[in-house]
């Protein structure tokens, strides 16, 4: 018997974490941070309550480096976990950037709260301590072990695992797990986050194995289809032309890993085809800068079109001048630029990091534009902008929204309903049990019906956080 307990990404899109117990072995698939809204901190503090000592966990499997899948690994280690964490080599490289950066942001937020309260004469009241420190984030890096695509690893005597390319971000994987529970072998497939086919930068997702006893599949966009890339490019071109005509700046909140590199390739491709005039682009995120270097260090994971674009830009550097902004002083100086700047900055949901400063300076200016190029979780600043808020709060102060907000939905790194159904169609028979995860409740319900309508799969579960299943 195998038991699954869902500790996150159940009825929501952050906090991915599933405990698997089989044949006396206990392991986690992902250990992600909850993001967005006032409830996230409480969830993060409670989410690693596994009902026993975390030292009883034998190993962790990580599908990819995004913080909503990896962000609580340092906290897991602080609570006593000392075992191995298996993931792909590229993911290990990215994790070395993402986890310390996550800790740094948390530390800075706590410091800001303390300074703010001191100014108000209330120092020390209600300060939120970081979930973990930079030191803890750096320490957990020693527990990572590489698992290259396609190679079988055996993290326990009764468990075999293979990582397959998921095409979501660099190093992302879906997992094929064969678990022996003492009576029989079961095949469990965890989709992680799946990418779209025929998108810039990365290779397409690998097709699934022919059969599975248990399947966990993401459903972030299970209720919709993304705009075709052609329409997405038209939207981007129109937004750039309108902003240039108004003599403003373009601010692009972007996830540092994956989305930033995709944006750079997309803009470069539009320039190459004559759709955009030459651009001055500022990538203002130390993490995005490092992630871009890591991406270029893994050419074997890039698609052919990206190789061709890189070669073209190297011979024509004047067509797209990209400055990777490193220090804080240079970042502040960007806010003195009144027109012509394209600023790509993290975080992608506008909740932390340098993007908040650029939004504070540019949102009140009607000649500027904000390009929303990724998913915005409920109760985040990014979602409020998408929903049409006329005033938002940044650093505790009201900021009027006069800039134009352009939502470009076709750039998601997540597969849409059609792509998810096509991937599921790769199974030769329905899995014994299918769980929909990493999606909001409405999206999961629509996706479950679509699976039934198109594939005829009946046994589809939509677990809630904390729910346990025996399979």
List, by residue range, all CATH 3.40.50.10890 domains of the chain.
Answer: 229-411
Give the Cβ contact number of residue 75 at 10 Å: 23
pTM for the whole structure: 0.88
What pLDDT shows up at residue 122?
Answer: 62
pLDDT digits (tens, 9 = 90+) for 55-65: 999 999 999 99
Rounded CA-CA distance 372/355 in Å is 12
Contact 181/106 with Cβ under 8 angstroms? no
Give the Cβ contact number of residue 459 at 10 Å: 10
Tokens of 454: 């198109």
Q: Is 395 exposed, middle or buried (0-12, 13-18, 19+ CB in 10 A)?
A: exposed
Instruction: Identify the CATH homologous superfamily for domain 2-224+415-470.
Output: Ribonuclease Z/Hydroxyacylglutathione hydrolase-like (3.60.15.10)
pLDDT digits (tens, 9 = 90+) for 15-39: 999 999 999 999 999 999 998 767 8
List, by residue range, all CATH 3.60.15.10 domains of the chain.
Answer: 2-224+415-470
Contact 380/37 with Cβ under 8 angstroms? yes
Rounded CA-CA distance 387/266 in Å is 25
- The candidate with the shortest Cα–Cα distance to 439, out of 278, 269, 140, 223, is 223
Residue with tokens 């203002």: 284
List CB contacts of 176: < 8 A, sequence separation 6 or more: 161, 162, 164, 187, 189, 209
Rounded CA-CA distance 29/19 in Å is 7
The architecture that CATH gives domain 229-411 is 3-Layer(aba) Sandwich (3.40)
Which stretches of the chain drop beneath a pLDDT of 50? none
Query: Strand locations in 25-107, DSSP E?
Result: 25-29, 59-61, 85-87
Give kind and range of the element (H or E) at residue 257: none
Query: Strand locations in 70-151, DSSP E?
Result: 85-87, 144-146
**Residue 469: beta bridge partners?**
4
What pLDDT shows up at residue 3?
Answer: 96
What pLDDT shows up at residue 101?
Answer: 86
DSSP 132: S
What pLDDT shows up at residue 129?
Answer: 85
> Cα-flanking dihedrals φ and ψ of residue 27, to 5°?
-145, 160
Tokens of 157: 């005597």
Q: Output 387-392 pairs: Cβ under 8 A, ≥24 positions apart.
A: 392/359, 392/363
What pLDDT shows up at residue 118?
Answer: 67
């Amino acid at each position: 018997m195998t038991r699954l307990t869902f500790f996150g990404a159940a009825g929501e899109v952050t906090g991915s974490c599933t405990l698997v117990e089989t044949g006396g072995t206990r392991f986690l698939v992902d250990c992600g941070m909850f993001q967005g809204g006032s409830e996230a901190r409480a969830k993060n503090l409670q989410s690693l309550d596994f009902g026993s000592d975390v030292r009883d966990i034998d190993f962790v499997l990580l599908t990819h480096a995004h913080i909503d899948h990896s962000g609580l690994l340092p906290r897991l280690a602080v609570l006593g976990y000392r075992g191995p964490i298996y993931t792909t080599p590229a993911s290990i490289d990215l994790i070395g950037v993402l986890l310390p950066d996550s800790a740094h942001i948390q530390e800075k937020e706590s410091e800001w709260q303390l300074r703010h309260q001191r100014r108000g004469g209330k120092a020390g009241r209600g300060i939120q301590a970081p979930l973990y420190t930079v030191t803890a984030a750096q320490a957990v890096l020693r527990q990572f072990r590489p698992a290259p695509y396609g190679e079988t690893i055996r993290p326990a005597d009764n468990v075999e695992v293979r990582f397959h390319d998921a095409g979501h971000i660099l190093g992302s994987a879906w997992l094929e797990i064969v678990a022996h529970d003492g009576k029989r072998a079961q095949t469990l497939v965890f989709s992680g986050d799946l990418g779209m086919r025929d998108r810039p930068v990365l290779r397409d997702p690998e097709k699934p194995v022919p059969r599975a006893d248990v399947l966990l599949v993401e459903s972030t966009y299970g209720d919709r289809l993304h705009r075709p890339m052609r329409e997405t490019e038209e939207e981007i071109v129109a937004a750039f032309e309108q902003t240039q005509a108004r003599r403003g700046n373009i601010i692009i909140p972007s996830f540092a890993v994956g989305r930033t590199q995709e944006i750079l390739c997309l803009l470069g491709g539009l320039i190459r085809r004559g759709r955009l005039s030459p651009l001055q682009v500022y990538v203002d995120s130390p993490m995005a800068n490092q992630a871009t270097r890591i991406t270029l260090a893994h050419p074997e994971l890039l698609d052919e079109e990206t190789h061709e674009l890189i070669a073209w830009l190297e011979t024509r550097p004047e067509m797209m001048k990209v400055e990777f902004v490193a220090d804080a002083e240079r970042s502040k100086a960007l806010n003195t630029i009144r027109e012509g700047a394209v600023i790509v900055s993290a975080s992608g949901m506008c909740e932390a990091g340098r993007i908040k400063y650029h939004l504070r300076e540019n949102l009140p200016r009607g000649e500027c534009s904000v390009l929303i190029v990724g998913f915005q979780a409920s109760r985040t600043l990014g979602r409020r902008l998408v929903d049409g808020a006329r005033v938002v709060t940044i650093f505790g102060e009201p900021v009027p929204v006069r800039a134009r907000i352009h939502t470009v939905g076709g750039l998601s790194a997540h597969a849409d309903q059609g792509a998810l159904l096509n991937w599921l169609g790769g199974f030769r028979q329905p899995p014994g049990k299918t769980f929909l995860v990493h999606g909001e409740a409405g999206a999961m319900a629509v996706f479950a019906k679509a699976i039934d309508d198109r594939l005829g799969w009946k046994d589809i579960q939509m677990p809630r956080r904390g729910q346990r299943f025996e399979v």
